[in-house]
A and B are shown apart, each in its own frame.
Chain A
Amino acid sequence: MALIECRELTKEYRRGENVIRPLQELDLEVEAGAFLALMGPSGSGKTTLLNLIAGIDQPTRGELIIDGEDVGKLSRSRLAAWRADYIGYVFQLYNLVPVLTAYENVELPLLLHPIKRRERHERVATALELVGLADRHDHYPRQLSGGQEQRVAIARAIVADPRIIVADEPTGDLDKPAAHAIMNLLTRLNQELGKTMIMVTHDAHTAEYAARTLHLDKGRLVESGAHIAAGAAMEAAS
């Protein structure tokens, strides 16, 4: 069984007579360990789909089954706890807390789990090492470059060891070298740690890092292409 299954997944916004449908009866399966890129024109529903999978939004109709559980039917508080267990979210604009150091930002998700201080410390250190910022643990976000901020954000997304990492245009605000470094990092998370990766992007180059690309248009899937391997994509990009 696939890790993520969407069946006739629909999201509607009603404003009086007007109904906006960012997602229309979407069917999708994502296997555990996949690296999926979502592409499509602006307003096609990419972020909407990502947010549904991340459990920060709820579908109007249809099923969204993740690891055997219908996430669309969880209560608000159950959903919050579910997010802490299953999801690491990487944002376009990093969303680090400015008053917390890199270390403390990465520590935030761990505080939601019953983990001893010593283990917490080890896991934060490991995550920061993985993103290559062990020496910047006591820096505040304003003391970091955009690429470094995004790496801290990635450390924050993986520190609690979630099964799924979602990323909404993670390189959208970065220059080419920084974007390349971030994509290499995400690829490693997918390949070495086996994280299921779902990424929204506008950029075809960035999409090439993914093993599979889906195109959305007006809330529907229009075509999907599978790449040979993520490794090939990396070579092509460099």
Chain B
Amino acid sequence: MRLLPLDYAVRNLGRSPLRLAMSVVGAMLVALLVLTASAFVRGMERSLIGSGSLDNVVLLGAGSEESIERSEIKASVASQAAASIHGIRSQLGQAYVSPEVHMALPVTGAPDTTTSNQVLIRGISAAAYLVHPQVRIVDGRAPRQGADEIMLGRLAHTRMGLTEDAASVGRSLYFEDRAWKIVGRFDAPGTVMNAEIWTPLNDLMVAARRDTISCVVLTLGDAEFADVDAFAKTRLDLELTALPEADYYGQLVAFYTPVRMMIWLTAGLIALCGLFGGLNTMYAAFVSRVREIGMLQSLGYSRRAIAISFAQESLIAAACGTLIAAVAGMMLLDGLAVRISMGAFGLRMDTTTLMLGLGAGLLLGLIGALPPTVRCLRMPIPAALKAA
């Protein structure tokens, strides 16, 4: 089959600058929308999935499997677990057993302000750095016990709605009726910890007047999950449940499934609107050329050749819009911090997201051109030649 020159498709785009602009902007908006939705969903998923280490097991209160924050267990569980379970990883005599308190507390940037946001405060000991190796201190130092010091995750200020400056090292934050001095900042890429505030376990327990901890996180060495599970099941007095850390965050991913569905549904519906707009634009573009379509067929061009030329035309416009969207997405969206009920995470422009956005934009171009092309080409040639 002989095709029409690509030049013909390209120059047809110039016939109506307004229509071209509409096609390009339409494809751009749809691609941007899909990019954003995908970056959001994937950023959220990754922060949850990335939070759970495969080797880690969490010991928490029986019945609180869905939320560490609601769990309360005896502070002695850490030492009992370390003593009873064999094969927990250790380094230089220090076992990878991290007792932790997780509390979602209202935090303010100034002493008397009433506007506050719930932030997850994690009370930690030195072992926390062992079981959470993702955590790297990027500014200042780790908080020391007894001085009401804290350390902030890289996205914690977003979570609190504060500027980065208001949450920098040297400033103070306020919760549990005290001022806490920021002495360091840490980065734990792609995990929920990035939106948290860390402080020494004892200081948090004193401030919150609690004598229980939330959980014990331990890292398996030679031991298996079954060993930890057996410990939890035999020590009925401690009322414990053992849960692989990855499973804990995995169930959070499942918990957010409706949210993700809503995001995709919304993106899909708006993209569909874009598609109908695109259909309209392309239909107007092609219908004004019906007589030309008849002429090209009279020369001997097949309907398929003409359809391909129209598809090229539509795809070129869509590709321009999609590329603009991709560049804009990379520059504006990648890493952009967003806040949701459970914490904060960065939007993620990965290959999958980029492919989805590009695919959506190009698909819009292709599908948008198809029905108008079919309609215009179905007309018998004599009728087409008579068209105005």
Between A and B, 28 residue pairs with Cβ closer than 8 Å are A48-B382, A51-B382, A54-B298, A56-B297, A56-B298, A56-B382, A57-B382, A77-B302, A80-B301, A82-B300, A83-B298, A83-B299, A85-B300, A91-B385, A93-B291, A95-B295, A97-B8, A97-B292, A99-B8, A99-B11, A99-B14, A100-B8, A108-B4, A109-B300, A111-B2, A111-B4, A112-B299, A112-B301
| A111:B5 contact, CB within 8 angstroms | yes
A24 within 8 A of B: no
A91 to B299, CA, bound (A): 12
A47: chain B residues at CB < 8 Å are: 382
A111: chain B residues at CB < 8 Å are: 2, 4-5
The 8 A CB mask of B7-39 against A (1 = contact, 0 = none) is: 110011011000000000000000000000000
Most buried by A among B11, B291, B301, B385: B385
Q: Which of A47-90 touch B at CB < 8 Å?
A: 47-48, 51, 54, 56-57, 76-77, 80-85, 87, 89
A89 to B294, CA, bound (A): 11
A98 within 8 A of B: yes
Other contacts beyond A80-B301, A97-B292, A112-B301: 19, CB < 8 A: A51-B381, A56-B294, A57-B381, A80-B302, A84-B299, A85-B300, A87-B298, A91-B385, A95-B291, A97-B8, A97-B295, A99-B11, A99-B12, A109-B300, A111-B2, A111-B4, A111-B5, A112-B299, A113-B2
The 8 A CB mask of B284-306 against A (1 = contact, 0 = none) is: 00000001101111111111000
A104 to B290, CA, bound (A): 20
Q: How many residues from B make CB contacts under 8 Å with A?
A: 25
Contacts from B to A (Cβ < 8 Å): 2, 4-5, 7-8, 11-12, 14-15, 291-292, 294-303, 380-382, 385
A112 to B303, CA, bound (A): 13
- Least CB separation from A98: chain B residue: B15
B297: chain A residues at CB < 8 Å are: 56, 80
Q: How many residues from A make CB contacts under 8 Å with B?
A: 30
A108 to B12, CA, bound (A): 15
Q: A97-B8, A99-B8, A111-B4 are in contact. Are A91 and B295 (CB under 8 A)?
A: yes
B7: chain A residues at CB < 8 Å are: 100, 104
| B292:A95 contact, CB within 8 angstroms | yes
A156: chain B residues at CB < 8 Å are: 299
A83 to B12, CA, bound (A): 25
Contacts from A to B (Cβ < 8 Å): 47-48, 51, 54, 56-57, 76-77, 80-85, 87, 89, 91, 93, 95, 97-100, 104, 108-109, 111-113, 156
A94 to chain B, nearest CB (A): 9
A91: chain B residues at CB < 8 Å are: 295, 385
B291: chain A residues at CB < 8 Å are: 93, 95
A57: chain B residues at CB < 8 Å are: 380-382
A158 to B50, CA, bound (A): 70
A99: chain B residues at CB < 8 Å are: 8, 11-12, 14-15
A236 to chain B, nearest CB (A): 32
Most buried by B among A47, A93, A95: A95
A49 to B291, CA, bound (A): 19
| A83:B300 contact, CB within 8 angstroms | yes
A66 to chain B, nearest CB (A): 15
B148 to chain A, nearest CB (A): 74
A85 to B297, CA, bound (A): 13
A97: chain B residues at CB < 8 Å are: 8, 292, 295
A67 to chain B, nearest CB (A): 16
B3 to chain A, nearest CB (A): 8
| A108:B299 contact, CB within 8 angstroms | yes
A44 to chain B, nearest CB (A): 15
A85: chain B residues at CB < 8 Å are: 300
A56 to B301, CA, bound (A): 11
A56: chain B residues at CB < 8 Å are: 294, 297-298, 381-382, 385
A82 to B297, CA, bound (A): 11
| A100:B11 contact, CB within 8 angstroms | yes
Most buried by A among B5, B292, B299, B301: B299
A161 to chain B, nearest CB (A): 13
B380: chain A residues at CB < 8 Å are: 57
B302: chain A residues at CB < 8 Å are: 77, 80
Q: Which 4 A-B pairs have the closest CB atoms?
A: A84-B300, A99-B11, A56-B381, A95-B295
- Least CB separation from B291: chain A residue: A95
B301: chain A residues at CB < 8 Å are: 80, 112
Q: A56-B381, A111-B4 are in contact. Are A80 and B292 (CB under 8 A)?
A: no
A51 to B298, CA, bound (A): 9
A169 to chain B, nearest CB (A): 12
A57 to B381, CA, bound (A): 7
